[in-house]
């Protein structure tokens, strides 16, 4: 066995064929990035809105809405609930 593992990159056509054949679970959110199939973040977590140059945050889902929704723009910071000790400058996320 080769001690060096090689990364297998997929083409768009191969990725689409996997989807057509039912390879992915119906609720599985994946995307193809640079030939790699990666799991996408859950819907409604953390949106980088490049068109409006801001980050939109949606928290505490309640039915079809969210109890908490806000925007942060360059010059402001964003604090993750998972890592409250690390404030991320919004400008870095938009770069």
**What tens digit of pLDDT does each residue of 52-91 get?**
999 988 888 887 788 888 999 999 998 888 778 888 899 9
CA atoms within 13 A on the CB side of 78: 24
CA dist 95 and 93 (Å) reads 6
**Which pairs with CB-CB distance under 8 Å and at least 24 residues apart come from 44-50?**
48/93, 48/94, 50/94
| pTM score over 0.95 | no
Cβ atoms of 38 and 53 within 8 Å: the answer is no
Q: Are 76 and 70 in contact (CB under 8 A)?
A: no
Mean pLDDT score across all residues of the chain: 85
- Burial tier of 90 (Cβ tally within 10 Å: 0-12, 13-18, 19+): buried
pLDDT at position 84: 83
């Amino acid at each position: 066995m080769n001690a060096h593992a090689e990364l297998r990159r997929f083409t768009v056509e191969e990725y689409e064929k996997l989807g057509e054949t039912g390879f992915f679970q119906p609720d599985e959110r994946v995307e193809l990035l640079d030939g790699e199939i990666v799991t996408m973040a859950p819907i409604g977590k953390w949106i980088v809105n490049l068109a409006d140059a801001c980050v939109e945050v949606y928290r505490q889902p309640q039915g079809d809405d969210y109890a908490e929704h806000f925007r942060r723009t360059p010059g402001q910071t964003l604090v993750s609930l998972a890592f409250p000790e690390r404030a991320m400058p919004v400008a870095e996320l938009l770069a």
